[in-house]
Amino acid sequence: MIHTDLCIIGAGPVGLFAVFEAGLLKMRCHLIDALPQVGGQLSEIYPQKPIYDIPGYPEVNAQDLVDNLMEQAKPFSPTFTLGERVDHLDKQEDGSFIVTTSDKTKVHAQVIVIAGGLGCFEPRKPVVENLELFEGKGITYMVKNPETFRDKNVILAGGGDSALDWTIFLSKVAKRVTLVHRNETFRGAPDSAAKVFDLANNGKIDLILSSNLKEVSGNGTLESVTFVDKSKAEIKIETDYLIPLFGLSPKLGPIADWGLSIDKNAIEVDTRDYSTGVDRIYAIGDINTYPGKLKLILCGFHEAAIMMHSAFKYVYPDQKLSFKYTTVNGVNSF
């Protein structure tokens, strides 16, 4: 059991900044994210994208922003559970929570902060019969530890940046890498595509184009994958692993079943402190909604600062912060 003051669900930019704001108030944080690295969409989807609306930065690279947020949070020693999805939330008699992840990691926290951006990212899965039978038994949708594939036969399927980048990387690790793509050309970066073609031309990998996944088979664990090409001919390849990389689909996931008020896949909050309708659960960043909501990173930063002052009372019930809510002309403010 991991014990902490706040469990932050989502390790994107808003979740990372929340660690800093919590640290200023002497509150400890543990972050959980379904992705294998911190940064959320910034790191997973567009790490090289320039961002122009962060105060103090006329322009900042997305990954650089994530790295800076990690550096800012570092003095407060946050801990992380990555590559695992939050599946269950159980309220305790004292009002605290126990969070259980998809890998059965348990976290005990006084406060839950949902900072999941657009929700958890779930892999887009190919439509293949019995696929789920081999999930975790040879089929995986992300590379959490490249050493898992050392000296193994690996098939990757996909045509985007992730498929190209992991093909290039794993060609130095795995016994044999095969990349299968349904088209003749790739969607990913031209430079990466050129490197993949060079690897194939030099016999370092096998490249199968204009082919689609048809069947997976094995006895308890994955043993082979069958593809069908544009001429309807079948190609069967023996393998230890299949990694379909068809992108990620953002979904609210199990959070939708926690008794929160949901509006169009977003969590409704009280703008005085970004609390939800459930005591000790807050929602900040793109995952929340309220009148006038703007889905901007800087708005999530603002929300994190406000909500931490409210969460303080649950972590330190015998202490008081020097702030209060006021209402002026019907408008709530700190």
Q: From the annotation, which residues make up the binding site for FAD?
A: 33, 41, 46, 86, 121, 286, 327
Place of tokens 């929700």: 119
DSSP lists the bridge partners of residue 217 as 224
Dist CA 121 CA 221 (whole Å): 25
Place of tokens 């800087």: 298
Phi-psi region of 333 (alpha: psi -120 to 50; beta: other; left: phi over 0): beta
Compute and round to an integer the Cα radius of gyration of the chain.
Answer: 23
Tokens linked to 34: 């379904």
Tokens linked to 285: 């960043």
CB 285 within 8 A of CB 41: no
Annotated binding site: which residue ranges? 33, 41, 46, 86, 121, 286, 327
CB 125 within 8 A of CB 139: no
Quickly list DSSP for 54-108.
Answer: BTTBSSEEHHHHHHHHHHHHGGG--EEEES--EEEEEE-TTS-EEEEETT--EEE
Helix (H) or strand (E) holding 315: helix 297-315
Q: Is beta strand 288-289 parallel, antiparallel or unpaired with respect to 86-91?
A: unpaired
3-class state of residue 10 by DSSP:
coil
- CA 7 to chain CA centroid, Å, is 15
Q: What is the DSSP letter of 159?
A: -
Spell out where 142-204 has E strands.
153-157, 176-180
3-class state of residue 121 by DSSP:
strand
Place of tokens 């896949």: 265
